[in-house]
Amino acid sequence: MNPLLRIAEIEGLSRRDALRLTMAGVGAGSLSGWVPVLARADAEGKPVAGLGKGAKKSCIVLWMDGGPSHMDTFDLKPDAKGAGEFKPVATSATGVQISENLPNLAKQMHHVALLRGMSTQEGAHPRAKYLLHTGYREGQGGIAYPALGAIVSSELGREEFPLPSYVSVGGRTYGSAFLGARHQPLVVGDPARGVENLKAFVGNGAFDKRTDLLADMESAFRKEYPVGPGKDHQVTYERAISMMKCKEAKAFDLSQEKEAVREKYGSSRFAQGCLLARRLVETGVRFVEVSLGGWDTHQDNFSRVKNLSGTMDQPVAALLEDLAARGMLQDTLVVWMGDFGRTPKINARGEKPGRDHFPRAWTSWMAGGGVSGGRVVGRTDKEGGTVEERPIGVTDFMATVCKIMGINPDKQNQSGNGRPIRLVDKGYKLVTEVLG
C-alpha cells in the first residue's frame, strides 16, 4: 500500500483527501502535520491552502435553449411599448419583482442574484450558444475552445472519481476541445432512463476477463500506433468500465428517490433533469448542465413563454429549495442562462406575434456557491432595450463563474498546437456585486 494512504488510514483521513494531498505535493513524512489542518478546515468549511479554493464546489447550469425573453420573465417593463401580457409580482427578495408566471421561483429569489445587465455580441443561435458555453467567439484564433463544463472538470475533477465530472442532461452541449477525452461530457438524453447498458450481460468474472483481454489488445495497438485518438479511446473506454463497476452510478437512477421528492420537482423531462442534477452533484459530479428548449419565440411569444415558464418554475424552485435544505447550496453554484434575450419590440409577423433575437440587453442569474442573493445587478432602460447600468459581457460573466468556483480565470492551457490559451479571455471585469 502507498505509505501515504496507510498513514491516512491510521489517522482517519479519507482516501480521497490523502490522494488530494499527494497531488498537492505532500509526502508521507509530513502527513501528520496536515491531518489536523484538513480536519479543522473541513469543520469550518474553509479551503485548504494548496488544494484550491473550489475543491468542494460544483456547478449546475440551467440552459434555456433558444434565448428566453427577459421582458417576459425576469425584467418586466409594465410601462414599455412592448410590455406584453404579463404582470410583475413581488418576491422573497425585497424590491425585486419577476413574472407572475414564476410564483414558485418568486419564493426563492432571496437566494438569487439577477444579472439584468447582460450584453453580448452574437445574435445568431449557433454562434451565441458557442460564445456562452466557451467564453470565446466561434472561429476566434482558428481553434476550438473547451466548454465551461470541461474547464470545471479539468480544474476541479478528481482523478479517482469513477463518474465523469461533466454531465449534460436533455440537450446538445459543447465538448472539451484540447482538454482531452477525460473532460468530455457524458450526455444523458432522458433523465428518467439514466445511463443505459451499465450492467454487463455476463457475470463479473467473464466480464473482467473480456475487458482485460481487450485492454491487452489495445495496449499493443497503441504501442505500434501512438496517436492521440488511441489515447482518447482508451480514456473513454476506461471511464465506461469504471462507471459499470462503481456504486456511484446509482445517482443516475431516479427511482431511488422518494415519491414525494419526485413530485416536488415535477414529472416533465426538464424537472427530472433538475432532480438528476441534484443527485449527481450530491454524489460528487462537479458540473451538470440541464437544458430546456423551445425559447426561440419569434411567433406566439406570450403563450409559449407562459407554458415554458410553467415548465421551468416548479423544478428550478424545488432545486434551489432542496439544495438549501440539504446544506448543499453554499457549495453548489446554480446558473440560469440562454443564448440571448428577445427584442423589446413585438414583431408583427403572423397572427400570433413574437419577439426576435436580441443580444444587446438581457438577463441571466446565479444562486448558491457563496453568491450574495436577493439582489439585482445591472439595469436596462424603460423599454428594456439598452443596458443603462453595469453592463456584463461574456468574459465578465465567465470570469465571475470561475472565481466563484475557485478557478483562476487567468490560467493558461496549451492548445493542440502548443499555443497558450487563457481560461477566460483578457479584459474581463468581475461582477464583484455577487461575490460573497
**Is the CB of residue 370 less than 8 Å from the CB of residue 65?**
no
The residue written with cell numbers 414529472 in the block is 267
Question: Which amino acid is located at 357 in the chain?
Answer: H
d(CA 345, CA 9) in angstroms, rounded, equals 65
d(CA 306, CA 85) in angstroms, rounded, equals 10
Give the pLDDT score at 205: 56
| Residue 292 pLDDT exceeds 50 | yes
The alpha-carbon radius of gyration of the chain (Å, integer) is 23
Q: State the pTM of this model.
A: 0.81
| Residue 396 pLDDT exceeds 80 | yes
pLDDT tier for residue 48 given thresholds of 50, 70 and 90 = very low
Q: Which CATH class, in words, describes the domain spanning 57-193+268-434? A: alpha beta
Ranges 33-42, 166-175, 275-284, 420-429: which has the least confidence: 33-42
- Phi and psi at residue 434, in whole multiples of 5°? -100, -10
| Residue 221 pLDDT exceeds 60 | no
User: What cell numbers appear for 259 in the block?
Assistant: 415519491
| Residue 126 pLDDT exceeds 70 | yes
> E strand or H helix at 36, and its extent?
helix 31-44
Residue 14 backbone class (left: φ over 0; alpha: ψ -120 to 50; beta: rest) = beta
Alpha helices (H) in 178-227, listed in sequence order: 204-224
Hey, where are the domains in the chain?
A: 1-51, 57-193+268-434, 195-252
pLDDT tier for residue 283 given thresholds of 50, 70 and 90 = very high
Give the pLDDT score at 49: 36
Q: Over range 123-130, report the average pLDDT.
A: 98
Question: Which amino acid is located at 118 in the chain?
Answer: M
The residue written with cell numbers 472538470 in the block is 153
Instruction: Specify the 3-state DSSP secondary structure of 112.
Output: strand
Please report the beta strands in 91-185, taking only residues with DSSP state E, as ranges in sequence order. 97-99, 112-118, 166-169
368 by Cβ neighbours in 10 Å (0-12 / 13-18 / 19+) ranks as: buried
